[in-house]
Chain A
Amino acid sequence: MKPARFEFVRARSLGEVATILRQASGSAKVIAGGQSLGPMLNLRLVRPSILVDITPIPELTRIEEDADGLVIGACITTSDIEDGRVRVDGLPILATVAAGIAYRAVRNRGTIGGSICHADPAGDWSPVLCALGAECIVTDGRQARRLPLEQFVASAFEVRLEAAELLQAIRIPRPSRSARCAYYKVCRKAGEFALASGAVLLDRERERFRAVIGATQGRPIVIDDARRLLGAVPQPGTPARLHEGATNELLQGAGLPLNGRLHATALARAAAQAMA
């Protein structure tokens, strides 16, 4: 399983990437860790004429923190987050999720930006980051725009990037100190993609109760107000009961013909963890 031929270019600035992407008119692909793109290249599922290495670009491994949130450069790896080289004060869920992605050798090169742009519907980052209300910072080399992650992900394996655009960073708003974020995935093997997943953010201080159904075979389904599904914000210790019918409605409403049973369970368990 060897890839089709491609040329290789190393880009050193955001402007340089954008120029190359523009000139290639859609036949270029950016590569950072290559943990998602590599298998697809090897299987000849994608055949770009040029591969652009974006790891030298300094902005992409930059971390910025302020009182409101955290901005993580797209080329930060899963193991950078897992090991705590990226400080994630107030967002310990990030390190937990990171540690459950694939395997250590893959985490040492796989990037958070790469994972999000690959947009495997069963991936771990999207549901959790959607629950946290994360935003994508997208650049065309000249200027940047921001959009919520759940809008950035268009469908399975598809994100909303124009021809010459690049995901530069993810901005994660910091919830209040007492907020709880939980993620539950049903998967058959350690490290594998999820069969069904649920992510919940419960921020009582700011009255935010957000839920996300993941592994939908399409985009993650964001429920901005999870009280619709789970009832009024329950007291700690009350088991969460999620109506399978309501979950099915949501899935079907999003055009996803799945039996919602497993997804209902995943979400209920995430909610239970958040409320514990």
Chain B
Amino acid sequence: MDRDVIIQIEKADSFYGTKQILKNITLNIYAKAVTSLMGPSGCGKSTLIRCLNRMNDLVPRFRLEGKILYKGLDLYSRDVDITDLRREIGMVFQKPNPFPKSIYENVAYGIRIQGVTNGEFIDGIVEESLKKAALWEEVKDRLHESALSLSGGQQQRICIARALAVKPQVILFDEPCSALDPMATAKIEELITELKKNYTIIVVTHNTAQAARVSDFTAFLYLGDLIEVGPTGKIFTVPQDKRTEEYLTGKFG
């Protein structure tokens, strides 16, 4: 199977202050596929995904060495406009974090802050994004109600719609289901599978079953090291490293 590489992580080391989190990570992310970053708590999987949209820049004393290339462009070079980058590489967080605004305004926020004022255009984007996030039917009659009135699963889909509205290429999911019940989780997973037709998706999870269900590629991280990476089927059936096998069989985690 031939696939385009969209993100190349090359020998990335990251630090919070003097504490090293990621150790010499080299990893390719393929376009229009789902890649899972899997591993126990504290393995650095969230840190890694937050390097990809430079969310770690918000953390004082964060430092990255090595390179992360997006379509061949070094994400950490001085020429990169960080706001453009974050529009291109969107993110959905662990805990649903809709803004305390209406459903409509949540989805419209990302384009409004770019200075778009054309009401019809925004209406169109909001509808399209909510449809893509499989939420339109549930909320179309109450777009102007507060997003905080929705259930946890719906809130998470609002956050997905919000991310889709700014037309990203890549969407990062940082443990998107850890605060949700099984039904809501199933819906989000279904949505991820649907979205990968048009977007590159990276999912952080500590849930091995979820990695197996949604992803085409799986990377296993442990204590800041990338232990192994490959097609999900292969990782789950014939893991090369003993630690991967132990994690998958529940010996630790």
Q: Do A and B interact? A: no
Q: Which B residues contact A (CB, under 8 angstroms)?
A: none
